């Protein structure tokens, strides 16, 4: 297995020295944001992780290898290239075998992080059950991965373009704990709140780190969702954003956009209709997640 994994110098040194490491995905660079904001955000998020006591490990598929930690030049390449595959579980083997460029989704990043012995992962929001999934069966592979891979995902909940109620039901069925960080309700990415209460709540990162340690010590397989709301000053008005999402969903349906193409189309449309405000919110929440994720990683590392 090790023949497929290569660590950056920074990550390799962190492993040797027993430092806390935070995994970061690369799809957010290649498919989640436009250039140059994508590369700038990636660099800033990595620095935030360092500033809070951990080592960042942005993960991607390059030249037949799973790269754990990217160089500045590689970040730039993923930000600019239009020929980067969106890599989930089903795509990993093919992309490695054919030596194509692959940007890892939440699911693929979780797999690669666990292979590298990294258990804390920061992203923007998780995928989930899409609206109308009862007929389309359109359910993100992120949810299945959370049910079987031992990585905690720090996120601002799930995007409200999804069916949040069914997403929560799916996670419950899979036994995935959803822990609200300083919140009792599921955040909905652009907004701090949704109508869905959370059973698990933590006011400090130590409680989260301890919960993760006990979970995996008990061999309770699978990850955890750490739901961290977007900061108040960057949150969007709930009625405003939901109206825009409904409009964008209708257009996606009319244009027969489905599967993994839905999310990038929706985010692009929402950015257009909010005149760029949604991109600002997206960047702010990822940075906020990086702060919390790094602190969780430091606490979790201290308990080993």
pLDDT at 260: 66
The dihedral built from the CA positions of residue 181, 187, 193 and 198, taken in this order, carries a sign that is: negative
pLDDT at 62: 97
Whether the pTM exceeds 0.85: the reply is yes
Quote the CA–CA distance of 280 and 129 in Å, as a whole number: 25
Query: φ and ψ at 116, to 5 degrees?
Result: -90, 5
Q: Could you list the pLDDT tens digit for every one of the 304 residues in the chain?
A: 789 999 999 999 999 999 999 999 999 999 888 899 999 999 999 999 999 999 999 999 999 999 999 999 999 999 999 899 999 999 999 999 999 999 999 999 999 999 999 999 999 999 999 888 888 888 999 999 999 999 999 999 998 789 999 999 999 999 999 999 999 999 999 999 999 999 999 999 999 999 999 999 999 999 999 999 999 999 999 999 989 988 988 998 899 987 767 777 887 888 898 988 988 999 999 999 999 999 999 999 999 7
Quote the CA–CA distance of 36 and 101 in Å, as a whole number: 19
Query: φ and ψ at 72, to 5 degrees?
Result: -60, -40
Nearest CA among 256, 254, 281 for reference residue 270: 281
> Three-state DSSP class for 85?
strand
Are 252 and 266 a contacting pair, CB within 8 Å? yes
pLDDT at 164: 96
Query: What is the DSSP pairing of strand 55-62 with strand 65-68?
Result: antiparallel
Which amino acids are annotated catalytic? 25, 159
- Domains annotated for the chain, with CATH where assigned, are 2-302 (3.40.1790.10)
pLDDT at 129: 95
CA-CA distances (angstroms) from residue 278 to 39, 218, 268, 270?
Answer: 17, 40, 9, 7
């Amino acid at each position: 297995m090790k023949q497929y994994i290569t660590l950056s110098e920074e990550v390799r040194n962190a492993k040797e020295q027993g430092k806390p490491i935070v995994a970061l995905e690369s799809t957010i660079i290649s498919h989640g944001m436009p250039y140059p904001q994508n590369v700038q955000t990636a660099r800033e998020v990595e620095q935030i992780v360092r500033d809070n006591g951990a080592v960042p490990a942005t993960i991607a598929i390059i030249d037949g290898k799973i790269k754990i930690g990217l160089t500045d030049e590689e970040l730039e390449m993923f930000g600019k290239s239009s020929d980067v595959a969106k890599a989930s579980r089903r795509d990993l083997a093919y992309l490695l075998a054919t030596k194509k460029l692959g940007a890892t989704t939440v699911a693929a990043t979780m797999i690669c992080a666990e292979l590298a012995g990294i258990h804390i992962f920061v992203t923007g929001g998780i995928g989930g059950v899409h609206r109308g999934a009862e007929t389309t069966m359109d359910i993100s592979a992120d949810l299945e991965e959370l049910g079987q891979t031992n990585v905690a995902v720090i996120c601002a909940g799930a995007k409200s373009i999804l069916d949040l109620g069914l997403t929560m039901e799916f996670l419950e069925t899979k036994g995935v704990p959803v822990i609200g960080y300083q919140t009792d309700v599921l955040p909905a990415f652009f907004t701090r709140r949704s109508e869905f209460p959370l059973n698990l709540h933590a006011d400090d990162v130590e409680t989260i780190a301890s919960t993760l340690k006990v979970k995996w010590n008990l061999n309770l397989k699978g990850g955890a969702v750490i739901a961290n709301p977007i900061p108040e000053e960057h949150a969007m008005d709930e009625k405003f954003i939901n109206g825009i999402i409904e409009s964008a969903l209708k257009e996606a349906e009319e244009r027969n956009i489905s599967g993994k193409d839905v999310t990038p189309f929706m985010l692009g449309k929402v950015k257009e209709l909010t005149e760029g405000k949604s991109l600002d919110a997206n960047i702010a929440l990822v940075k906020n997640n990086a702060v919390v994720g790094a602190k969780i990683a430091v606490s979790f590392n201290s308990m080993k």
